[in-house]
Structure 1
Amino acid sequence: MKIGVPIEIKNNENRVGMTPSGVFELTKRNHNVYIQKNAGFNSGFLDEDYIEAGATILDTIEEVYSVADMIVKVKEPIEPEYKLIKADQIVFTYFHFASSEVLTNAMIESKSVCIAYETVEDADGSLPLLIPMSEVAGRMSVQQGAKYLEKPIMGRGVLLGGIPGVPPAKVLILGAGVVGVQAARMASGLGASVHVLDINMKALRHVSDVMPNNVISEFSSEYNIRKHIVDSDLIIGGVLIKGAKAPKLITRDMLKEMRPGTVMVDVAVDQGGCFETTKPTTHQDPTYIIDEVVHYSVANMPGAVPYTSTMGLTNVTLPYVIKLANDGWEKACDNSAALAKGLNIVKGEIVYKEIAEAFDMEMA
């Protein structure tokens, strides 16, 4: 199979769809891999590394899309790429269709085979291709939140871990999944007072079992959320509903109950966000302020640490890329129930229920 890896052209997206190591695994199986010139540069991988692994370097994104049977990316295609995608071409990437009707319609019109990293699902319900980026984003949410709590950036002027004689910041985390656990791990390690809310008691028990004493688990309800936001310094949204829009757990009216300079980091922004006031931002312009509350909602947080993120992503996507390359998408999905759940849009038809429901569209 001919596999193409283009440069990511989304704002400040520095990751790349495949490492040289991944290329080597494909070329030794007699597949052809085409890398756009300098595609890996911002992740720390040179064209020479890819050539040594057996790839062919192409100058333009148009050439990569034109030659490839399968495109392996990181983020969803954006408008300049829509016209480059061919009928029957496999596009394997993060899509997050439920948050964008424009993207959904564009991929329907392309007649391509869209396989979404974020809905590939193991038998136990886990999302193996989403986990490493959720781990990165969960840890980064605290790192970024701590920075934006600083007064020069309009935060409350609070040091996350406090100092002797001065209490630490209070961190409220909505969701006890991968993002929430990683955020709690980072925040607690810095000495913050951490409260994790979720409606899944099994997840809350896990938090209580593995976290230190400065992490408190609590059942999530609107009442409890409203109780905590009045004195929280940093609020992290990490709620995920597979393939669907995130629920709005913090509404616009709640902002008036928060202290000026409170920071909210919405890690669920890719799925529409779990704060009503969330709108996607970029690393170039990451924050905005509503009612004196600082909002951070960068839609590709792991793109700021591309070496770590690209390595972690290729670790989990490569086995599926190999299956698709060896067998073609139909046989690969027949043989892998996990990969079959990654099918979102196939040759102009929506095949994933949550996407159809998000936009009141028909499902194949």
Structure 2
Amino acid sequence: MKIAIVTDAWRPQTNGVVKTLSTTADGLRALGHVVHIIEPNQFRTFPCPTYPEIRLAWLPYGRLSGLLEEFGPDAIHIATEGTLGAAARKWCLRQRLPFTTSYHTQFPEYLRARAPIPLALSYAHLRRFHSAAARTMVATPTMQRLLESRGFRNIVRWTRGVDVSLFKPRDKSFLDFPRPIAMYVGRVAVEKNIEAFLRLDLPGTKVIVGDGPARSDLQARYPTAKFVGYKYGEQLAAHVAAADVFVFPSRTDTFGLVLLEAMACGVPVAAYPVTGPIDVVNQGVTGVLDEDLRTATLAALTLDPTQCRAHALANTWETATRQFLSHLAPRAAAATAAESALDSA
């Protein structure tokens, strides 16, 4: 099957959305499918307001139409709600072709963290965007319930995986900082609530792996924390495995791939009991969820690393990829359904 995936989030961005889509595309190809990623680097772009590191496609409809028509996809998945996602949605509706979408990011909460935009207004926009899709894929049961409570329909589950051959227990002496080492990995931005972690009175060392618009300010105000920037591949896995506890202060993530990566390294998680962690963390076994993040962090330090690893081993990318594939809405299937409906009329 020829599958087109349209996304506003792509390399050089480093985040869970890009990781999920790139790994899924590789998995689909391994299963014999032809995958075409349509992403911002193929277009003229402009900086995303309030987040200039992210580039959005400028007036992409014409070029996107040509790319889709040339590829001739059997199924189309719109991964994000940005300018490319909107253009792909418009094209599918004009062509009367079915498509699926996914909900990766709690944009209403992200926007409210940056500007006084009412949640109801943002959710109304997103509900309209996804309402035309045959199915909208979400990562967790909690996210499904949240969106359904907001009036979203046709929600299905698309879980996530972890590369357990890369993320695995390693020598903790890789990081020569006073212990215990409490680590955060991800974008350094206001919506990630990193300051809640940096404010904690904890023994040992706080390590921030990642970068973003809030880094310079936070690094200046918390000089004892170690900001090491983005890490990739083996370097990233070595950093994560060297931690004693993985602290995830975000209240707005829909999943948090880094949680599974930490567990695969035998590192327990400390987080708030919110969407994402509440579905990924096995409370008291692979991590501790508590509204008091310091309490969660200190308690997580006492957990058994082997239990964390065992939990991660049950979450494979192959399973997640097959789940994604099963939710697609191929145009041939839609045509068959339409013919059946006419025959029975």
Q: TM-score range by the shorter chain?
A: 0.3 to 0.5
Normalised TM-score (structure 2):
0.37
Normalised TM-score (structure 1):
0.36
